[in-house]
Amino acid sequence: MEKNNLKAWLYLLPAILFLGVFLVYPLVDVFIYSFEEGFNSASQTHLGIGFYNYAYVLRDPYFLQALGNTFVLVFITVPVSTLLALVISLGLSSIKWLRKLFQTIYFLPYVTNTLAVGLVFMILFQQTPYTDGMVNFVLSWFGIAPIDFITGPYWAKMLVLSIYTVWTVLPFKILILTSALASVNDTYYQAARVDGTTGMRMFTRITLPMISPSLFYLIITGFIGAFKAYSDAVALFGTNLNSAEMNTIVGYIYDMLYGDGGGYPSFASAAAVILFVIVLTITVINLLVSRKTVHYGGGAGNA
Amino acid sequence: MLNSEIRTKTAEEYAKDAKRAKVLGILKSIGIYTMLTIWAIAVLFPFFWMLITSFKTFGSYNAERVPSLLIKYPTIGNYLSAFTEINLAGYLLNTLIFTVITTLAMVIVSVLAAYAFSRLEFKGKEIVFTIFLALMMIPTELVVITNFVTVTNMGLRNTFTGLILPSVTSVFYIYLLRENFSQIPNNLYLAAKVDGTGDFKYLWKVVIPICKPTIITVLILKVIECWNSFVWPRLITDNDAYFLISQGIQAIRESGFGRENVPAMMAAVVLVSLPLIILFLVFRNKIMEGVARGGTKG
């Protein structure tokens, strides 16, 4: 096995080439771009090195709005979707009849095209001159006046975006939590039942600690995913997210890069680095919290 | 007090208790099934509604001031106009070409790399593998900017090459395959070596057949990812002839059919969603298992 050196590198060559050109080089380059002031894409020249791009982005009202939207979205959808997934998974794991059918149905949004189903959501929520739409029709049963969800008030648009986001992220969370619940050893429950432990106490003392690693895995990936929200917003409000007041950080990056307001890779890079720093910070905080609260020790080994 | 209560409990009362527990159990089941059914409806309703609407005529849909789930005048005209009035066939074909080539290229690149990491010994193996693992954590958003500039400068905008090249690599799949390849017993490899079998033949004749289930899982996950990709295609193509379905849907929504033709849009949405739903129903267990092992949405 000693003369494998050259052969091994040959096997690795395609992967290294692809990763080098499209992952490692861009990673270094994005930091360089973000510090190059007054970059001109036509001549590939720049005026100087400094923090101007960051200063510009952080003062740009569109970026601040995108930042605000993203934070609101993250702090609504991550707790709601995680909690909802937990409730549904607990329900799923306590039944036998029709369980597989429910699991299959719940997973469907994972394999559907975000843009395509987003268009359906948009039309269901949309209020047009001809009709108030399906959702408003259902709301009218409860005596609620029609709401313009797609082009109306900010909170209504944020509500639709949050609902659609939760709808698209739940399949993954339900899947992870049901398999975590299934792997909790049944002897714990039997022992607890012999001791006459109540259901609530069994949940907080056995179930929750045993699935806590998976729960934290979901919270971390949930935060990361929600901070990168973009396609869901486009699906509901169209590509001009700034005028819809519904832009996200990732949307801002792409708008800066390309499109009507595009052509500013330096600003896009600065925004991307800011996003990266935010995500990194939140992940580190999550990991620090999880060290104190998450129970690692057999049982749920799905994450 | 407590003791006397226990003493006075008769057989009749025990039976009563058991009955009460049974009733509570049934009520609990009803509650659980109700909740699960409500969420199932929430998931299925958009699909149900798009299917129904896609069979309505433009006129009858627009006449519905109050939304209706009934089809008064069924028509398949919307499906025809999805192919004649807009370029849906083109979008589907583009997506198919993109998905097939990207997935195949990804599998070849990943299998070769995974084999090197799992079976071959070479200098710097540990370091290179650690670097690969670290690369898993890099978000696409960070590298997409330079890739956009690179591909644009290479003159590859609005080409399949430009679409495919940056989408090929997935460090995670290399990692997944390497874990799987490593489980093959050493003896098999040594026996093959004694027989004079080369590494490539061993990979092709032994490793790939044994690890077929994992390779298929990786394949399917990549197909789903490619079929639904939106961000990169949107950046790199602005010519309708190279649109993938996600952009196609966006284009239909913004200017397709020349008017707000919701039933026709829904026909397009159904046609776009159907292939993956069928794929999912066929490979249900494989997909769910694969995603549980490390997929994330997006």
The residues with which A45 forms a beta bridge, in sequence order, are A40
Q: Across the interface, do B273 and A117 touch by the CB < 8 Å criterion?
A: yes
B80 occurs within a structural domain: no
Q: Are residues B169 and B251 in the same domain?
A: yes
Of B66, B73, B40, the C-alpha closest to A134 is B66
- Predicted confidence at residue B298, as pLDDT, reads 35
B75 occurs within a structural domain: no
Domain count, chain B: 2
B163 occurs within a structural domain: yes
Q: Are residues B182 and B284 in the same domain?
A: yes
| Strand spans (E) along chain A | 36-37, 48-49
Given a cut of 50, is residue A181 above it in pLDDT?
yes
* CA distances (Å), origin A244, targets A56, A61, A125, A131, A154: 22, 14, 15, 21, 9
State how far residue A264 is from chain B, nearest Cα, in angstroms.
Answer: 10
What average pLDDT does the segment A140-168 reach? 93
B168 occurs within a structural domain: yes
State how far residue B40 is from chain A, nearest Cα, in angstroms.
Answer: 6
Q: Are residues B115 and B255 in the same domain?
A: yes
Contacts of B283 in chain A (CB under 8 A): none
B66 occurs within a structural domain: no
CATH code: domain of residue B261: 1.10.3720.10
Measure the CA–CA gap between B48 and A134, rounded to whole angstroms: 13
Q: Across the interface, do B298 and A175 touch by the CB < 8 Å criterion?
A: no
- Predicted confidence at residue A63, as pLDDT, reads 95
Measure the CA–CA gap between A63 and A247, rounded to whole angstroms: 8
Instruction: For chain A, list the domains and their CATH numbers.
Output: 1-50 (no CATH), 60-293 (1.10.3720.10)
User: Which residue among B250, B277, B292 sits closest to A179, beta carbon to beta carbon?
Assistant: B292
What average pLDDT does the segment A55-77 reach? 95
Provide the angle, in degrees to the nearest 10, between the axes of the packed helices A5-19 and B88-119. Answer: 150
- Asked whether this complex has an ipTM greater than 0.95, the answer is no
What average pLDDT does the segment A52-78 reach? 94
Given a cut of 80, is residue A88 above it in pLDDT?
yes
pLDDT tens-digit map of A272-292: 999 999 999 998 988 888 887
Domain that holds residue B13: 2-54
User: Which residue among A11, A30, A98 sits closest to B112, beta carbon to beta carbon?
Assistant: A11
Q: Are residues B11 and B121 in the same domain?
A: no
User: Which residue among B40, B146, B231 sits closest to A102, beta carbon to beta carbon?
Assistant: B40
Single-letter residue type at A178 = T
A65: pLDDT confidence band, cut at 50, 70 and 90? very high
Q: Are residues B142 and B259 in the same domain?
A: yes
pTM higher than 0.95 = no
Q: Collect all residues with Cβ–Cβ distance below 8 Å to B49 and sequence separation of at least 6.
A: A120, A124, A134, B69
Given a cut of 50, is residue A51 above it in pLDDT?
yes
Q: Across the interface, do B298 and A137 touch by the CB < 8 Å criterion?
A: no
B230 occurs within a structural domain: yes
Tens digit of pLDDT per residue, chain B (298 long)?
455 455 566 778 788 888 888 888 899 899 999 999 999 999 999 999 999 999 998 888 888 888 888 888 888 888 998 888 888 999 999 999 999 999 999 999 999 999 999 988 888 888 999 998 888 888 888 899 889 988 988 899 899 999 999 989 888 899 889 989 999 888 888 888 888 888 889 999 899 999 998 999 899 889 999 999 998 998 898 888 999 999 888 888 887 666 678 898 999 999 999 999 999 999 998 889 888 876 554 3
- Predicted confidence at residue B1, as pLDDT, reads 45
- Predicted confidence at residue B97, as pLDDT, reads 95
Q: Which residue matches tokens 């806590």?
A: A212
User: Which residue among B169, B247, B266 sits closest to A15, beta carbon to beta carbon?
Assistant: B169
Q: Are residues B259 and B170 in the same domain?
A: yes
Q: Are residues B15 and B115 in the same domain?
A: no
How much of chain A, in percent, has pLDDT values that exceed 90?
Answer: 51
- Predicted confidence at residue A260, as pLDDT, reads 67
* CA distances (Å), origin B223, targets A27, A63, A64, B90, B100: 26, 34, 36, 18, 8
B62 occurs within a structural domain: no
Q: Are residues B127 and B267 in the same domain?
A: yes
Which residue in A30, A111, A117, A221 has the most chain B C-beta atoms within 10 A of its own C-beta, making it the best mutation to test that interface?
A: A111
B63 occurs within a structural domain: no
